[in-house]
Chain A
Amino acid sequence: MRTLSALTAAPTRSGGSAPTARRPRRWGALTGALVVVVLATAPLFLAPFATTTLTRILVFALFAVSLDLLVGVTGLPSLGHAGYFGAGAYAAGWVSLNVTAEMPVPLLAGAAVGALAAALTGWITVRSRGVFFLMLTLAIGETLQQVAETWQSVTGGANGLTGIPSTRIAGQPLTNAGFVHWYVLVFFLAGFGLVWMVARSRFGAALRGIRDNEPRMRALGYPTALYKYATFVLAGGVAGIAGALLVAQQRLVTPADLGFTTAAFALLAVIIGGAGSLWGACVGAALVIVIRDALGPSLGGHGTLVLGIVFVVVVYGLPRGVAGLRRLRRNGTDR
């Protein structure tokens, strides 16, 4: 009779059977390193305007990555995530104006306020599902925008916070577009790395389980509401960091930064990139920013229309987004 190795006290099975198929990581790592090198050296050969566009892409990409942690990894399609992005931006702006613009302070303020806003609104949100989740997150985003528009003394009302001083590092203000770019790049990489690490951890595996089949995860002993709440707060904090980086770059925050349009653009970036793929979200964010901001003026203000077309094409042509392209190729060759 067979021995039940897994059930007896000490499994001593030597690794006789084949290990589960590992994907080749080397090419991914190599491409990643190459992209980082290009991003880091870009200010050396790009004009300031192009550099600034690239910086905006990084800011928006970090925001999209934090949203992808909710939408793609955990299966929480938030329509109000811009609220936490904006809350972080306002916090960083306010602190820079009224306390200090010295380096870690605006960033920490952005992260803390983004996470706090998510913590205060998340507990009810993560316990709802389906259409209720959509409506609740939408309502929270709209409410935060209302707060930004009406709390004149702190947020500057409809005009937003203007004239925000440059972020300073050791007393030196970052005025040059290249320095701002490097500053944003460092924290983009840190934020991306954090989300990436969480997504591929054991906790991240549980989040994917919740996305696929939450009732079953509960039956396996996972307190799913708690897991979703922790993720919601983390995503809020990372969105807050992205908000603080936005302020460092454009030195202005307006209520539009936490409105539905911003949230919808981020969702667009996640879906174009392929929900669940963090690098895909970055590619999606790049497309959104390039079409909306860089090409938009030359398209006679029809940037949003073009984005709409891109979206329809992606949904029909690439149901798994840009990230799906790689999977298609891999399946074609490996299997």
Chain B
Amino acid sequence: MAVKYEKVKAVEKEHAVVDGVDVSGHWNRMFEQRVIFEYTPELIEKVASIPNAESFANCYQCAKCVAVCPVDVVGNYGPRKLYRYAQTGTDLTEAPELWLCTTCANCLRVCPKEVNMVKIMPAAREQAILDGKFVPPELQQAFENTAKSGNPLGQPQRKRDAWIQNAGVPIPIIKDLGRPVDVLWYVGSYPSYHPRGIDAASAAARIFTALGIDFAVLGKEEKDDADSQRLAGEKGLFEMMAEHNIATFNSYEWKELVVTGPHELNAFKNVYPKYGFERPVLHYTTFLARYLDQLKPLLKHEVNVKVTYHDPCYLGRHNGEYEAPRKLLEAIPGVELVEMSRNRENGYCCGGGGGGMWMDSFTAKHTKMRLSEKRAMEAASTGANVLAVACPFEVSRFEDAVKSTGNEHVTVNDILELLDRSMRGEQ
């Protein structure tokens, strides 16, 4: 017989008299022994029995995680709550909650029991997908686009290097170059196709050129890293992309791989080694921070703005880079850098990680406000007029969010764009 799970009702007494004092009321539970045997462990075990999701069962309900979970700020979430939902009858593999975690890793940072949502979520989602359970349609579309076209936007593969024409500097494609380079620059899908991503990519190309860096790109041979698709549960898709990218990386000679995006950094640096690819990979902020001495004299024009910087989860918490982006911003003459209350290790997630990038309308149905909107308001409250980012997912997310929260006076810029502006002056 199929087990039917019912929501457990809290055990309360209409009337309770303790030591002659009437303590009737919903709060009187604390005076009675807690009845725990009504709670069911099956649904916790159902999640914890999925390979890589074992740590779900470790939770001892201390609630440290809830205080730092970005989704809880706009809803009712966090590992402690998910555990509790499972205990009281929610099957996580079928619930909308399965799709809300952005794998931002802030809970893992504080959890004494190492309950690891960065592993639990992809595993549970993969199980749900393989079992043919509900997958948010927008996410499904991003998966299909990636499988079909090599990028989640569904743009044609042969147009991947079309942006190069208008970058203002020659951008060598490694295949045509036919010689080894120092830096292989993995541009990424959004910087290759999204208009605001192209702005950042073009800025990067101009900066690399001005610094005299010997670099090249993969052009039409580059395909999406699919790390966020992996975290959203599509491991097979990730593996298919990884096979292609690793073979491509290995077919050329280069010294370092520089990436525009933190998700790509995470994929190539932390996950590809499992698939046999172990080479130096750097995010552009880390890479450029090395060239600060050469870069500073190039930053000739003042950029008189008050900037606040948003730490991308996959650059900060996942990969430990907090200082390079700040050093780059501080190197720009005229920039005043102010911090949001949640910064560095405790940075607030933009909502784009773990597949959240492609689930905005779904997430909006289950939260009070988008994470990007919460963060945009936080940025505005610092008095900054520029919100600086270092992840290609974020420019479009935050540009929408500053508009929808009435903070249009805050401009969203990739650090690359600000460096480029200082280098070339207002264009």
Indicate, yes or no, whether A interacts with B.
Answer: no
